[in-house]
A and B are shown apart, each in its own frame.
Chain A
C-alpha cells in the first residue's frame, strides 16, 4: 500500500482507534471515580459542542446553560410526571429545549454581537429565577427527583441506580452522534453558509443568505443537543434543581471551546471539554482553595502558547518532534 494513501486514512484510523479505546476503557480501568468524571465530561462535550455551534454562526451566547436547564427540567418532568421511558425523556428534553430556542431565537437573534450575548445572559438569569419560583412546576429549590431507569432487555435487567456503566456508554453514543452531526454540518453546504454568516454578515446577506434563518437553525440545533445533555445529566444525577444551571457554566463552555480550539467545529470543543472537566475536577479534589488561581493561570498560559487551542498540537507536535531531531544533528555543526 502506498504511504500517501495510508497517510490520508490516518485520521480515520486514529478516530476509530480512539472510539474503540473509549468503549473498552471502562472495562479495563475499573475506577468508578474516573468513570464519573468521564460521564460528566461527556455531558460537557455536548454542552460545548452546542456552544461552539452557536458561536460558529457568529453569535456568542452567554446563556447556553438555560437550555441545559430547559432540557433538564423537561426531561425530569416527562420522566416523573408523565412516566415516559428514559430514551423518550432524553428526546423530549432535547425537543422542548429546541422549541424554546426556536421561539426565543426568532426574536433575540435579531440583535447583533454583544447585545445578543447580554440578552442571553439576562435570559439565563431569568430562567434560573423562574426555576426557583415556579413552584407548581419546578418545585423551587427542592427540585424534582428522577428515579434511575430500569431497562429490561429480554432476560437481562439493567438497573441504572446500581451501575453507572450504562450511562457511560449512552453518553459516549450521544457524543459520537452529536459530533457526527456537527461534523457533517460543518463539512456540508450548511456549515459553509453558516460560516459565511459569521464572518461577513452584510456580505452574506447581499449574496442571498437569509441571516436569521441560519442563525435560528444553528441556535435551535445547539439547543437540541444541549437539551439532550441536560436531560441526560438530570437522569445521571437523579435530580434536577436550579443550582445545577448557574450562568457561570456558559463561560466555562467558552473556555472549553477556546482551549480545545474554536476553529474546529467538533474536535476542539470535545478535546477542550474533556481536558477542562478532567483537570477541573482533579484540581478541585487535590488543590481545594488553590484551585481558582491555578485554573486561571493554566488557562491563560494555554491560551498564550496555543491561541488556536489544543487542536493546534496536531500540527505543532510533529513539527516539534522533527525539530528536536534536527537540532541534534545541527549541534555539532554550530561551533564550526
Chain B
C-alpha cells in the first residue's frame, strides 16, 4: 500500500473523529442528535477563511478563534433556542431547520461561490524517501493533538468529571451540585467548537462553501454508531474504521467503498445492536 494512502486515511479519520466526538458529547449530555453539526463544521471553515485567509491572522490563532466563535454560536443556540423548546423531538427538528438557516445565512453573507483557503503548510516533505504533502501531515498532527487534549480534558479535569457525571446520571449529578442545564450549554459549546476545529483544519485542504457540512455529518453519524453511542473511545474507533474504508478500501475497490461504509454500519449493528463499544442495555 502506498504511504500516501496511509496518511490519507489518517486525514479522513481525524476529520471523522473530531466530528464524531463533538456529536457524541452533545448527544450524551443533551440526549439529542444535533443534525446541524455539519453546519458548525461549515461555520468553522468559513471562520478560517475570513480570519486566516482574509485577515491574515496566524493559522493556529485563527483556529482557536474560530472554535471560540462557533462554540459561542452553539452556546447561544442551546441557551436561547433549544432550552426554551425543551422537548427532544422538537429540538431535533430545530437542529434540522438550523441546517437551512445556516446554509441560507452564509449564502447570503458570503455568496454561493466556493472559496479556497491557502495552505498554511505548503509544499511536500520527504520522509524516508517518500514525498508526502506537509499539509496533510500537519493536519493529522493537529488533529491528534486535539483529540488527546479532549481526552485529557474529559478524564483529568473537574469540568470533565462533571461532564461524565452529567452524561451518565443527569439526576444524580444534579443532586451533587452539578448544574446539568449549565453543563449542557457548555457541552453544546464544546461540541460545536470541535466541529469548527474539524472544519478549520480541513478548510485549507478542501474548499469552503455553504454546503460542505452534509458529508462530514453523515460520516460522523456512521462513526458514532460503529463505535457505540455515548463513548468517546467509540467515536475514535468509528472514525478510524470509516477513514480506512474511505481511503484504503477506496484505493482497492474504488467507488464501491461508499456502499461498504454504509453496509458495515448495518452489519455491525446486526451483530452488536449497541455498536462495537456501546454498553448493552441488558
Q: Does A pair with B?
A: yes
Query: Which A residues lie at the B interface, using CB under 8 A?
Result: 107-108, 110-112, 114-115, 117-119, 121-123, 125-126, 129, 251, 254-255, 258-259, 262, 289-297, 299-300, 303-304, 307
Interface SS, A side: helix
Find out whether the CB atom of A290 lies under 8 angstroms from the CB atom of B104.
Answer: yes
In whole angstroms, how far apart are the Cα atoms of A108 and B229 in the complex? 17
- What sequence of 0s and 1s flags, for each residue 73-107 of chain B, a beta carbon within 8 Å of any chain A beta carbon? 00000000100111101101110111111111101
Query: Which B residues lie at the A interface, using CB under 8 A?
Result: 27, 33, 35, 81, 84-87, 89-90, 92-94, 96-105, 107-108, 112, 218, 221-222, 225, 229, 258-259, 262-263, 265-266, 269-270, 273-275, 281
Q: Which of chain B's residues has its CB closest to A130's CB?
A: B259
Find out whether the CB atom of A108 lies under 8 angstroms from the CB atom of B94.
Answer: no
Smallest distance from the beta carbon of B159 to chain A beta carbons, Å?
Answer: 26
In whole angstroms, how far apart are the Cα atoms of A235 and B163 in the complex? 53
Q: Which of chain B's residues has its CB closest to A304's CB?
A: B85
Find out whether the CB atom of B96 lies under 8 angstroms from the CB atom of A292.
Answer: no
Residues of A within 8 A of B98 (CB): 296, 300
Find A262's partner among B89, B99, B263 (CB 8 Å cutoff). B89
Find A107's partner among B86, B99, B103, B270 (CB 8 Å cutoff). B270
Q: Which of chain B's residues has its CB closest to A117's CB?
A: B33
Find out whether the CB atom of A115 lies under 8 angstroms from the CB atom of B101.
Answer: no
Residues of A within 8 A of B87 (CB): 307
Find out whether the CB atom of B100 lies under 8 angstroms from the CB atom of A108.
Answer: no
Find out whether the CB atom of A255 lies under 8 angstroms from the CB atom of B263.
Answer: no
Residues of A within 8 A of B86 (CB): 307
Interface SS, B side: helix
Find B93's partner among A110, A123, A254, A293 (CB 8 Å cutoff). A254
Smallest distance from the beta carbon of A273 to chain B beta carbons, Å?
Answer: 14
In whole angstroms, how far apart are the Cα atoms of A129 and B105 in the complex? 31
Smallest distance from the beta carbon of B223 to chain A beta carbons, Å?
Answer: 10
Smallest distance from the beta carbon of B230 to chain A beta carbons, Å?
Answer: 10
A118 with B222, Cβ < 8 A, contacts A112-B281, A255-B93, A293-B108 known? yes
Q: Which of chain B's residues has its CB closest to A287's CB?
A: B104
A114 with B105, Cβ < 8 A, contacts A108-B269, A119-B269, A293-B100 known? no
A126 with B262, Cβ < 8 A, contacts A115-B225, A118-B221, A255-B97 known? yes
Q: What are the 8 tightest A-B residue pairs by CB atom distance, in nearest-first order?
A: A293-B104, A296-B101, A292-B104, A296-B100, A292-B100, A299-B97, A122-B262, A258-B93
Residues of B within 8 A of A117 (CB): 33
Residues of B within 8 A of A254 (CB): 92-93, 96
In whole angstroms, how far apart are the Cα atoms of A296 and B225 in the complex? 27
In whole angstroms, how far apart are the Cα atoms of A121 and B259 in the complex? 13
In whole angstroms, how far apart are the Cα atoms of A110 and B259 in the complex? 22
Q: Which of chain A's residues has its CB closest to B92's CB?
A: A254
20 new A-B contacts at CB < 8 Å, known A125-B218, A292-B104: A111-B269, A114-B27, A115-B274, A118-B222, A121-B218, A126-B263, A289-B104, A289-B107, A289-B108, A289-B112, A293-B101, A293-B107, A293-B108, A296-B98, A299-B96, A300-B97, A303-B94, A304-B81, A304-B85, A307-B86
Q: Which of chain B's residues has its CB closest to A306's CB?
A: B90
Find out whether the CB atom of B229 lies under 8 angstroms from the CB atom of A115.
Answer: yes
A114 with B229, Cβ < 8 A, contacts A254-B93, A293-B105 known? yes
Residues of B within 8 A of A112 (CB): 273-274, 281
Find B258's partner among A111, A129, A297 (CB 8 Å cutoff). A129
Smallest distance from the beta carbon of A219 to chain B beta carbons, Å?
Answer: 15
Find out whether the CB atom of B100 lies under 8 angstroms from the CB atom of A295.
Answer: yes
Find out whether the CB atom of B101 lies under 8 angstroms from the CB atom of A114.
Answer: no
Residues of B within 8 A of A125 (CB): 218, 262
Residues of B within 8 A of A121 (CB): 218, 221
In whole angstroms, how far apart are the Cα atoms of A118 and B266 in the complex? 9
Residues of A within 8 A of B99 (CB): 296
Smallest distance from the beta carbon of A113 to chain B beta carbons, Å?
Answer: 8
In whole angstroms, how far apart are the Cα atoms of A299 and B108 in the complex? 19
Residues of A within 8 A of B105 (CB): 293
Residues of B within 8 A of A122 (CB): 222, 262-263, 265-266
For A110, A112, A115, A295, the residue with the greatest tally of chain B CB atoms inside 10 Å of its CB is A115
Q: Which of chain B's residues has its CB closest to A128's CB?
A: B262
Q: Which of chain A's residues has its CB closest to B80's CB?
A: A304
Find out whether the CB atom of B96 lies under 8 angstroms from the CB atom of A307.
Answer: no
A-B contact pairs, 26 of them (CB 8 A): A108-B269, A112-B274, A114-B27, A114-B229, A115-B225, A115-B275, A118-B221, A118-B222, A118-B225, A119-B266, A125-B218, A251-B35, A251-B96, A258-B89, A259-B93, A289-B108, A291-B104, A293-B101, A295-B100, A296-B99, A296-B100, A296-B102, A296-B104, A299-B96, A299-B97, A300-B97
Residues of B within 8 A of A114 (CB): 27, 33, 225, 229
Find out whether the CB atom of B107 lies under 8 angstroms from the CB atom of A115.
Answer: no
In whole angstroms, how far apart are the Cα atoms of A122 and B274 in the complex? 16
Smallest distance from the beta carbon of A103 to chain B beta carbons, Å?
Answer: 13
Find A110's partner among B89, B265, B273 (CB 8 Å cutoff). B273
Smallest distance from the beta carbon of B254 to chain A beta carbons, Å?
Answer: 12
In whole angstroms, how far apart are the Cα atoms of A34 and B12 in the complex? 47
Smallest distance from the beta carbon of B233 to chain A beta carbons, Å?
Answer: 17
Smallest distance from the beta carbon of A258 to chain B beta carbons, Å?
Answer: 4
Q: Which of chain B's residues has its CB closest to A110's CB?
A: B273
Residues of A within 8 A of B266 (CB): 108, 119, 122-123, 126
For A123, A129, A293, A300, the residue with the greatest tally of chain B CB atoms inside 10 Å of its CB is A300
Residues of B within 8 A of A299 (CB): 93-94, 96-97
Smallest distance from the beta carbon of A126 to chain B beta carbons, Å?
Answer: 5
Find A303's partner among B93, B259, B262, B274 (CB 8 Å cutoff). B93
